[in-house]
Structure 1
Amino acid sequence: MAMYESEHTKFMREWMAKHPEEREEQKKGRALWWDKPQETQTTREFAEARLPSKAYPYATES
């Protein structure tokens, strides 16, 4: 059974095959916005400071 593939996905696969230089630009963009080094101490502090959420967040009573 064949898997569904959208028109957009097909277009992007073909476009990337025709423009392999864009892979490098894609990597640069990802590094700029997403691939950031993580500081384990800061991550741990955020996790420790987190408060438990209410069962129903829209409740008006405490």
Structure 2
Amino acid sequence: MAMYESEHTKFMREWMEKHPEEREEQRKGRALWWDKPQDLETLRRNAESKVAQKPYPYQNEV
């Protein structure tokens, strides 16, 4: 049984085979926007400073 592959996926696979230099550009873009070093202390402080939200914030107090 063959797995479904969209036309877009096929296009991108073929295009990347024809343009292997784009792999490096793809890595650079990912590093620029996504692969950031994480500061564990900042993450911990952000988690501790969250304020509990009411289940339905727009309900009037009666």
TM-score computed with the length of structure 1 as normaliser: 0.84
Deviation at 1:3, TM superposition (A): 2.0
In structure 1, the gaps of 5 or more residues are none
Matched, 1:51 2:54: no
In structure 2, the residue matched to 1:11 is: 11
TM-score computed with the length of structure 2 as normaliser: 0.84
Deviation at 1:2, TM superposition (A): 2.1
Give the number of aligned pairs: 62
Secondary structure class of the residue paired with 2:57? coil
Deviation at 1:28, TM superposition (A): 0.4
Q: Which consecutive aligned stretches of 4+ in structure 1 deviate over 4 angstroms post-superposition?
A: none
